[in-house]
Structure 1
Amino acid sequence: MKSAFAENRPFLMISLLFGISYYFACVLNTPELPEPLIVLWKGAGVSFLAIYALVRLHRLDGKIVGAFMAFGALGDMALEYDMIIGAGAFMVGHFLAIAFYSRYRRHKLGFSQKLFAILLVPLSIGIAWALPSDRGSALTIALYCLSVAGMAAMAWTSRFSRYQVGAGAILFLVSDLLIFARMGPLETSIIPDLFIWPFYYFGQFMIATGIVRTLRHEMAADSADPVHA
């Protein structure tokens, strides 16, 4: 138990340190630091979640989860330089996550849960399309939203905890919708600045830890070793 904590928990602690400190130092304030350093600071939080997944899951699952977390971190950093490249990195991560969740589909879904997942994608796309003031970008934004909404719907219908992985994916989706709202009705509002990063980062944190915890417990079913995410 002590070995697991010493070797693996620090990656979560370092991730939290970077993720939370970035919000207070770089989102709510304007630090007098070189831009490349701020960009690396931004990407570090989710980068350490990728490392955490790779270390805790010594199999293909860990590589896949680590990969879509890594593309998220890459997207975080690339957005500071180019929106198209950043969105492209996120989309690759979303498609990897969709493929991953499809391997872990929940066999039985309640009617309300199934209805929620079915409606989530078209409603999210419709909202994303309606938000930007620049109507020329509406279609591109809607197409991007298809990937993140599809990821969230697949996470919600997977057999991972809805209260952790499913809710984390929904937070991720909401953070993106707030970005789109900042291009339109919330352009002058403080709301996006306050909530985009916390929703995104803690959504990713919930996804990574929820997946690792579930799969680690399943791996422990064949052994008597205690498991800690």
Structure 2
Amino acid sequence: MPRRALIEKRPWLLASLVAGIGYFFIAGSALPDLYEWAIKGAGAAFLAAYALSRHAGRDATQIAAVMAFGALGDVLIELDIVWGALAFLAGHLIAVQLYWRHRRASLSGSQQALALALVLLVPLIAFQLPADRAGAPGVAFYALGLAAMAASAWTSTFPRYRVGLGAVMFVISDLLIFARLGALAESVVPGLLIWPLYYFGQFLICTGVVGELRTRSTPQ
């Protein structure tokens, strides 16, 4: 990789990785909440900056907006889960529009089946998970947007095993959050997996989209 590319590319990704990995180890520590929340939001915020610095145009701006709403959701969810969910949902809707604009012209049967399974099963599973049944419809509503994001990512022309996989990791992370409100309330599993699945899912999504955009814009 040319030296100039290293200088341009590494700072934002490195800052994101430091914040994203660092948050896993400082979450729930004695660090003041404001500092902890800032580090938490910085992981996705630096990905937004990376997207804007690496590619110009509508698509890069949209994936940057997705990451920015993710960063906002990361912080707001610490204050109020509903406001956090709304921020994430806004990001999902922007992502759906981006992926739909870059949808594949044709899909194999297995690709169609997985996309359909995501749209149908994710909201259904999410609805079953919270112990507080009064909140279950809201969880399912949010999960529908989450599922649409993942399905459209999987069926887009962006790299499936980066962008599509990252979106599925995001789905699993959120389902674990909902499970922690119910059956897995006493389990250590959500605490170990939610953040790594979410952060590295976002990382794969952002770098996958930006990398593909740069490849397409490079003269062959």
Structure 1 residue aligned with 2:125, among 122, 127, 143? Answer: 127
Could you say which residue in structure 2 is the equivalent of 1:9? 10
Following TM superposition, by how much is the alpha carbon of 1:138 offset from its aligned partner in structure 2, in angstroms? 0.6
Could you say which residue in structure 1 is the equivalent of 2:112? 114
Q: What runs of 5+ residues in structure 1 fail to find an aligned partner?
A: 223-229
Could you say which residue in structure 2 is the equivalent of 1:163? 161
Q: What runs of 5+ residues in structure 2 fail to find an aligned partner?
A: none
Could you say which residue in structure 2 is the equivalent of 1:21? 22
Q: How many percent identity over aligned positions? A: 49
Q: SS of the counterpart of 2:185?
A: coil
Following TM superposition, by how much is the alpha carbon of 1:115 offset from its aligned partner in structure 2, in angstroms? 1.1
Structure 2 residue aligned with 1:144, among 142, 145, 169? Answer: 142
Task: In structure 1, give the amino acid aligned to 2:8.
Answer: E
Q: Aligned equivalents of 2:119 and 2:180: distance in 1?
A: 20
Q: Aligned equivalents of 2:92 and 2:32: distance in 1?
A: 30
1:78-97 alignment, distance < 5 Å: 78-97=76-95
Note the alpha carbon deviations across 1:9-62, whole angstroms, 9 max, x for none. Answer: 211011001100110121xxx322221111101000110000000111111111
Could you say which residue in structure 2 is the equivalent of 1:46? 44
Q: CA RMSD in A?
A: 0.9
Task: In structure 2, give the amino acid aligned to 1:16.
Answer: L
Following TM superposition, by how much is the alpha carbon of 1:125 offset from its aligned partner in structure 2, in angstroms? 0.6
Q: Is the 8 A contact 2:26 2:36 kept in 1?
A: no
Following TM superposition, by how much is the alpha carbon of 1:168 offset from its aligned partner in structure 2, in angstroms? 0.2
Q: SS of the counterpart of 2:219?
A: helix
Could you say which residue in structure 2 is the equivalent of 1:225? none
Q: Aligned equivalents of 2:63 and 2:52: distance in 1?
A: 8
TM-score, normalised relative to structure 2: 0.97
Residue 218 of structure 2 is aligned to residue 217 of structure 1 = no
Structure 1 range deviating more: 136-145 or 115-124: 115-124
Structure 2 residue aligned with 1:204, among 199, 202, 205? Answer: 202
Q: Across the two proteins, how many residue pairs are aligned to each other? A: 219
Could you say which residue in structure 2 is the equivalent of 1:226? none
Following TM superposition, by how much is the alpha carbon of 1:103 offset from its aligned partner in structure 2, in angstroms? 0.9
Note the alpha carbon deviations across 1:136-160, whole angstroms, 9 max, x for none. Answer: 0110000000011100000000011
Could you say which residue in structure 2 is the equivalent of 1:69? 67
Q: Find runs of 4+ consecutive structure 1 residues off by over 2 angstroms.
A: none
TM-score, normalised relative to structure 1: 0.94
